[in-house]
Structure 1
Amino acid sequence: MRKIKFFSLFIFLISCSQNDFDILILNGSIIDGSGKSSYHGDIGIKDGLIIEIGDLSDKTGQSIINAKDLIVSPGFIDSHTHAIRGIFNVPTAESSLLQGVTTLTDGNDGTSPFPIDAHYKKITNTKISPNWAVFVGQGTVRQEIMGLDNREATKKEISQMKDMIKDAMQDGALGISTGLFYVPGNFSSTEEIIELSKIVSDYGGIYISHMRDEAAEIIKSINETINIGIQAKIPVQITHHKIIGKKNWGSSIETLALIDEARSNNIQVSIDQYPYTASQTSIRALIPQWAQAGGRSELLKRINDPEIRKILIQGIVEKILFDRGGGDPKNVFISKNTWDTSMEGKNLADLCIDSNLEPTPENAALIV
């Protein structure tokens, strides 16, 4: 009996080895990512690699997939995620894979893990399902060297930041990201960003940016971003391009024209955009950046100073009316609050009412 079982297994292995491919996808409408129109064909895969594309109807596969009336394409790359917040808890990342997204990037908006090498080792040990890559965050690097100081970097500090950027690129970072709207990135000069980006350029990386302003000063921010690319000789990606503030609507005509002009002059600049009319970020986006210098303890000191508090409240009111607040406290929703989950799902107007206050921008600023 043992000889019979062995013989049967041997025959099975031989038959498997005689297949042309491990996976054979037949009858699909192929979009190959090259920019060409879709075309009908079959795909043969072996050892995890696409070996052949064409008419493979006479070939065999260990696994055969009939893709008739379906589109076959490379996995999508999500070029801007914050998946690091959940990838270690849900390493299978079904929310991405089920949409055809097979590669995730993180380290966006100026914030990233560091050191990059240690992060990649953790990702590898977690055995996540999607492909993964990160940018090095300029804000992360600056905070490591300078804390949350609102000042220009010294030559020594820039040199130290360059060394960190160099290490990150050698560890496999895709490039450098900035969050010039956020602290501490907002405290950085354009010249500082250019100097750090030059290191990234030397390694063939790219520059991606949540720009300094996406509301009233967006034209200035577009020009700054393009100039960084020119001066550092580095490809530029403008992150989630949008126009914030109703009175600024229509400015995209000019911003897109600036990008088109740059591209016509062989400057490598591109944008990405999300297909909805809201944005998600920290409630700190409503607090003026200058007030956040030095961190939480310094912010609390400013809040407790009556004169500074007045200026701070007015700054928050302006952001509610003309910037991130969408013109009304009811447009600002709390999606997550770890220290008081009862706030989740409520907007600033709701929280004003809960505190027996009229839902005005001024009272909403007090809630913030």
Structure 2
Amino acid sequence: MNRNRVLLHGGDVVDGTGAERRRADVLVEDGRISAVADISRDVDAPVMDVSGSVVFPGFIDVHAHDDLALLRPGGVEPKVMQGVTVDVVGNCGHGCAPVATDPRMQASYSGPVLGRFPESLPWRGFPEYLDHLSATGLRTNAVALVPHGALRASISGYARRPLDARELARATRDLDEALERGAAGLSLGLMYAPGDAADHSELLALARVVAARGRILAAHIRSEGDDIAGSLRELLDIARRSGVRVQLSHLKVVSPRNKGRMPEVLALLDDARSEGIDITADVYPYTAGSTTAAALFPNWALADGVPGLLASLDTPSERAEIVASMHRPWQQQENNFRALGADGILLAGFRQPGNERYEGARLSGVADERGEDAAECLCRLMTEERGELTVVMFQMDEADVRTALSWPWSLIGSDGLPVQSPYTHPRMYGTFARVLSEYVRERGLLTLGEATRRMTALPAERFRIPARGVIRAGAAADLVVASPERIEDHATFASPRRFPEHVRAVLVDGEFATLDGTATESTAGALLPIERSTA
């Protein structure tokens, strides 16, 4: 029997094109799909009976933060177990490459998003990071964006100013080299230091480099709250003037006072598309977000990164100024502490003895227990934990989430944080199962065929990943076997680290990464090439 082949027999296929399910068998050979048809079980290949299940293309997580987790044993298991076969990393400007002028600042600021950094990194520039991914067998395939924050930090650290002419020339040169070596595009994190210090001319210059290479610009805009319209217009002007293709990161509207504004946002996006701006977005199917706790502080306090913030928090007069600022609205950056209140913020990442009991607790509860003002309590916790805390923030309205998911140009991205703390946002474990169970089966918001297209073929097209995202002869054998009638997302805010049920198998490049709900030891994943088309 030919062990380089496997026949998935007796089930249905949803091929990723938007078409609904149909009866077909799938023959896999040497990492590729060799036939999609009614195939006899007598074929010279092991046969997996998938009766009662659907074979999907592998899901593509267009918004991942698994830059380091890909290289950590078990780091991306939550993705693989829900059917993710391609991880797009480097989002929101956060990254582990290029390495910052002060690596400790990078590790302390981005660690609560990417997971703990190792003591030293075996690369400096972004091409070296790509080389490292290429040389490593991975549990899932990877596509990498150049993170603007890390690019900037490698040149000017966390300086609170625009890049000067010499620095900008280096940034465009380093970006172009990374794109030439295989990066899929550039990601902006304009809510985060140091990317928020970039001016319009810097962003436009970098966008033009991306456009010239035919790659994509993924953007976490400056504000997703009060100033969301202005922040979107900034991004759209960059796209208009550069011609770059744009992926709007985690399409959402935050804070209770902005409830119901999603139609306004989609009207701006539809107008932009009508004008010829090539923009799509990604959405995660939850009403809470998650990020580093440092994002709850004004960015001017992060001029010297998290170490600088901690030094200020240790100085009573400076801490008082920071606390006062947390109770005031900010000009562009959304003040999530003020908007959500302490009851809307959960905490994670505690390592100090005595603080572990706060894992997954609301800031309001911790402040009450300690008898402190919530802002003062957060400041003290940051000092105690040396700034390495993650927060989960209940920011969005469910109706706005549904409206965002309904937009025809929205893709699915988890925005999951692969942190090693006991508590994390459930989207790391449940995003793709939740789309299928909650928004296809239960709510009927999307058809099965359309939801699959948003998780497979459309992402492959947007990020120009060849031969992925569809089930057809000749395509790579990234496949998921699951039952859409039974699939269940068990990851909740109360118990987030739970795998979904009824994902029977996941194949990465023709090898079983999971089988019967159990992970294998396969490391068939790799850094994927990007099509070398130009604008």
Regarding TM over 0.5, the answer is: yes
Aligned to 1:349, which of 364, 383, 392? 364
Q: Secondary structure at the match of 2:173?
A: helix
Q: Secondary structure at the match of 2:143?
A: strand
How far does residue 319 in structure 1 lie from its aligned partner after superposition?
Answer: 6.7
Aligned to 1:116, which of 126, 144, 149? 126
Partner of 2:194: 184
How far does residue 230 in structure 1 lie from its aligned partner after superposition?
Answer: 1.8
In structure 2, C-alpha distance between the alignment counterparts of 1:176 and 1:79, rounded to whole Å: 13
How far does residue 176 in structure 1 lie from its aligned partner after superposition?
Answer: 0.1
TM score, norm. by length of structure 1: 0.86
Contact preservation (8 Å) 1:92, 1:128: no
How far does residue 353 in structure 1 lie from its aligned partner after superposition?
Answer: 3.0
Partner of 2:343: 330
Partner of 1:12: none
Q: 1:266 to 1:353 in 2, by over 3 A?
A: same
Determine if the alignment matches structure 1 residue 266 to structure 2 residue 272.
no
Contact preservation (8 Å) 1:242, 1:273: yes
In structure 1, C-alpha distance between the alignment counterparts of 2:156 and 2:64, rounded to whole Å: 26
Amino acid at match of 1:159: A
Aligned to 2:71, which of 88, 98, 107? 88
In structure 1, C-alpha distance between the alignment counterparts of 2:42 and 2:75, rounded to whole Å: 32
In structure 1, C-alpha distance between the alignment counterparts of 2:228 and 2:85, rounded to whole Å: 33
Q: Secondary structure at the match of 1:214?
A: coil
Q: Secondary structure at the match of 2:163?
A: coil
Q: 1:297 to 1:53 in 2, by over 3 A?
A: closer
Determine if the alignment matches structure 1 residue 248 to structure 2 residue 258.
yes
Q: For residues 146-202 of structure 1, what are the alpha-carbon distances to aligned partners after superposition, in whole Å with 9 as ceiling and x for unaligned?
A: 111111211111101011101211221110001000000110012211111211222
Contact preservation (8 Å) 2:41, 2:47: no
> C-alpha root-mean-square deviation of aligned residues, in Å?
2.5
Partner of 1:213: 223
Determine if the alignment matches structure 1 residue 22 to structure 2 residue 5.
yes
Q: Secondary structure at the match of 2:92?
A: coil
Q: Within 5 A, what are the aligned runs for 1:1-368?
A: 16=1, 22-57=5-40, 60-91=43-74, 93-112=76-95, 113-114=97-98, 115-296=125-306, 298-299=308-309, 302-303=312-313, 309-318=319-328, 323-325=335-337, 327-339=340-352, 341-342=355-356, 343-357=358-372, 360-364=373-377, 366-367=379-380
Q: Secondary structure at the match of 1:135?
A: strand
Report the count of equivalent residues. 348
How far does residue 277 in structure 1 lie from its aligned partner after superposition?
Answer: 1.4
In structure 2, C-alpha distance between the alignment counterparts of 1:209 and 1:37, rounded to whole Å: 32
Which has the larger displacement, 35-44 or 239-248? 35-44
How far does residue 100 in structure 1 lie from its aligned partner after superposition?
Answer: 1.2
How far does residue 281 in structure 1 lie from its aligned partner after superposition?
Answer: 0.8
In structure 1, C-alpha distance between the alignment counterparts of 2:72 and 2:57, rounded to whole Å: 26
How far does residue 59 in structure 1 lie from its aligned partner after superposition?
Answer: 6.0
In structure 2, C-alpha distance between the alignment counterparts of 1:101 and 1:179, rounded to whole Å: 24
In structure 2, C-alpha distance between the alignment counterparts of 1:37 and 1:296, rounded to whole Å: 49
In structure 2, C-alpha distance between the alignment counterparts of 1:297 and 1:119, rounded to whole Å: 25
Bigger radius of gyration, 1 or 2? 1
In structure 2, C-alpha distance between the alignment counterparts of 1:99 and 1:301, rounded to whole Å: 42
In structure 1, C-alpha distance between the alignment counterparts of 2:201 and 2:294, rounded to whole Å: 26
Q: Secondary structure at the match of 1:53?
A: strand
Contact preservation (8 Å) 2:9, 2:41: no
Q: For residues 293-332 of structure 1, what are the alpha-carbon distances to aligned partners after superposition, in whole Å with 9 as ceiling and x for unaligned?
A: 1334544565566665444212222479x84235321222
Q: Secondary structure at the match of 2:91?
A: coil
Q: 1:100 to 1:229 in 2, by over 3 A?
A: same
How far does residue 34 in structure 1 lie from its aligned partner after superposition?
Answer: 1.4
In structure 2, C-alpha distance between the alignment counterparts of 1:296 and 1:104, rounded to whole Å: 28
Q: Secondary structure at the match of 2:217?
A: strand
In structure 1, C-alpha distance between the alignment counterparts of 2:343 and 2:36, rounded to whole Å: 54
Q: 1:304 to 1:336 in 2, by over 3 A?
A: closer
* Structure 2 gaps, min length 5: 99-124, 383-535
How far does residue 214 in structure 1 lie from its aligned partner after superposition?
Answer: 1.0
In structure 2, C-alpha distance between the alignment counterparts of 1:323 and 1:297, rounded to whole Å: 21
Q: For residues 225-270 of structure 1, what are the alpha-carbon distances to aligned partners after superposition, in whole Å with 9 as ceiling and x for unaligned?
A: 2222222211111111211111111221211111112122332111
How far does residue 364 in structure 1 lie from its aligned partner after superposition?
Answer: 4.2
Q: 1:195 to 1:59 in 2, by over 3 A?
A: farther
Q: Secondary structure at the match of 2:187?
A: strand
Partner of 1:13: none
Contact preservation (8 Å) 2:294, 2:306: no
Q: 1:73 to 1:300 in 2, by over 3 A?
A: closer
Contact preservation (8 Å) 2:9, 2:48: yes
How far does residue 74 in structure 1 lie from its aligned partner after superposition?
Answer: 0.8
How far does residue 99 in structure 1 lie from its aligned partner after superposition?
Answer: 1.1
Identity %: 27
Amino acid at match of 2:371: N
Amino acid at match of 2:336: R
Q: Secondary structure at the match of 1:221?
A: helix
Structure with higher RCO (Cα < 8 A, 6+ apart):
2
Amino acid at match of 1:345: G
In structure 2, C-alpha distance between the alignment counterparts of 1:217 and 1:191, rounded to whole Å: 20
